Amino acid sequence: MLREVCRSFGAGPRARRVLDHASARIAPGSQVAIIGKSGSGKSTLLNIISGIDHADAGGIEFGGCDLTAMGEPRRTLFRRRRIGFVYQFFNLLPTLDVEENVRLALELCGVRGREARRRSAAMLEQVGLGELLRSPVDVLSGGEQQRVALARALVHEPDLLLADEPTGNLDEATAAQVAPLLRRLARERGATLLMVTHDRALAGSLDRCLTLHDGQLLEAGGAAMPGGATAGR
């Protein structure tokens, strides 16, 4: 999936290389944690995988597609249709109610009207918020807002789910409820899950854990991943 990915910020002698030939093979449908110290480039890596940011060099392949070879319009469509993203701070739109926030992800994929409303409501039922469809999102608790964000990320049935510190803004008890829900829903849909987290217990509950250190992805034993690896559905 990741092949020798490089990313630097700044220019000249002050340039800082965040990703330095980072490589990893991710099995389709697997659940993988990415850990590392603050500022190590974990969020940058997820943004590059999703196409929000771009790599300076290297390749990202998923589902037989080379994301780094796509132009911006095609990459945007790929992200909308095949990738779901869960953020630490929810990133919900306060001007929309719960159902509208979820439905927006479908509308961006071209699903509208009655079908979009039906699918949004069904997804919210699965995260335990079926009675809050018309609620403003800013009156919800943190755990409820993250459930809305999870429903939004999964409602269009993505192949790849990216989660950037999904429990980082939740208290311990709420995180203990949201994390298993996220994992279960991703597993039921066969989605590949990549999760950035500082919670080592949560990381240890996933199928596999990679560490981002000095710009490279390391296995638990400390070995760098070989280059040229691909994965996808």
Q: Sort strands 216-218 and 208-213 into parallel, antiparallel or unpaired.
A: antiparallel
Cα–Cα nearest to 121, from 99, 137, 101, 143: 99
**In the chain, pLDDT over 70 holds for what percent of residues?**
94
- Cα separation, 63 vs 6, whole angstroms: 21
**226 compared with 5, residue with greater pLDDT:** 5
Q: Which domains does the chain have, with CATH numbers?
A: 2-218 (3.40.50.300)
Residue 20 above 80 pLDDT?
A: yes
User: Residue 202: which residues within 8 A CB-CB, separation 6 or more?
Assistant: 33, 167, 175, 179, 195
3-state helix, strand, coil in the chain (%, to 5): 40, 25, 40
Positive/negative CA dihedral, 225, 228, 229, 233: positive
User: Is the pLDDT reported for residue 69 higher than 90?
Assistant: no
* Mean pLDDT, residues 122-136 taken together: 96
Which pLDDT score, from 0 to 100, does residue 48 have? Answer: 92
For 25-42, what is the mean pLDDT? 94
User: How much is the average pLDDT of 151-180?
Assistant: 95
What would the mean pLDDT of 133-138 be, rounded to a whole number? Answer: 96
pLDDT tier at 83 (50, 70, 90 boundaries)?
very high
The pLDDT, as a whole number, for residue 100 is 98
Number of residues that this document lists for the chain: 233
Which residue intervals of the chain are DSSP H helices?
A: 42-50, 72-82, 98-107, 113-126, 142-154, 172-188, 200-205
Could you report the per-residue pLDDT of 152-164, keeping only the tens digit for each? 999 999 999 999 9
Pick the residue with more confidence: 196 or 230? Answer: 196
* pLDDT for residue 230 is more than 80: no
pLDDT at 39: 87
Given the structure tokens 């603050």, which residue do they identify? Answer: 38
Name every residue whose Cβ is closer than 8 Å to that of residue 78 and which is 6 or more positions away in sequence. Answer: 51, 65, 67, 70
Greater confidence, 212 or 72?
Answer: 212
Location of structure tokens 């300076």: 56
